[in-house]
Amino acid sequence: MRTFLLVLVGLLATNFLFAQVDFSEEIVADTSSIAILERLDVNRDARLDKMLKWHIEKNQKREGMDGYRVEIFFSSSLDAKEQALNLKTEFLTNYPDFPVHIKFIAPNFRVRVGDFRTKNEALKLYKQVQEDYPAAFIVPDVIEFPLLKQNQYE
């Protein structure tokens, strides 16, 4: 009985060893499965295509995304527009890496800088400009879509 169990365990162990796939065989299997997927018909609900189309159209209409900017100036004085334009050129000479946006939200002209996705990103610029612009503060705003770096997602 003992020899029978030993032979049975030996046969099972050798069976498991032969069941292993080499790495090169895995690569061949992966490339052949891609060809199979090209000929594969996927049956899905038509509502899924409609929902996907709606999602794409909705996002194409958006001019930006929710984010944060640092507001360095706002005023409703008579020469507020000139002050805002002068401040924009001054800021761009000191900090050329950050975009500057002038907005008129009645009755104030506002100068907002940066396009940040998180408040922490905006806080870094806020700390840099705090000496030059002591009235600066962080505001939520609709920002331009950020440019994605090519190697960031590879």
> What CATH code is carried by the domain that includes residue 111?
3.30.70.1070
DSSP 63: -
Please indicate, yes or no, if residue 137 is contained in any of the structural domains: yes
Q: How far is CA 29 from the centre of its chain?
A: 33
* Domain annotation covers residue 13: no
The answer as to whether 90 is a domain residue is yes
Digit-coded pLDDT (tens) for 80-131 = 999 999 999 999 999 999 999 999 988 999 999 999 999 999 999 999 999 9
Domain residue limits at 138: 65-143
Does the model's pTM come out above 0.85?
no
The verdict on residue 100 lying in a domain is yes
The answer, yes or no, to whether the previous bond of 146 is cis (omega within 30 of 0) is: no
pLDDT, residue 18, reads 55
What's the pLDDT tens digit per position in 68-82? 999 999 999 999 999
- What's the CA angle centered on 128, arms 100 and 112, to 5 degrees? 25
pLDDT digits 0-9 by tens, 12-41: 666 655 555 554 455 444 555 566 667 777
Q: How many domains does the chain have?
A: 1
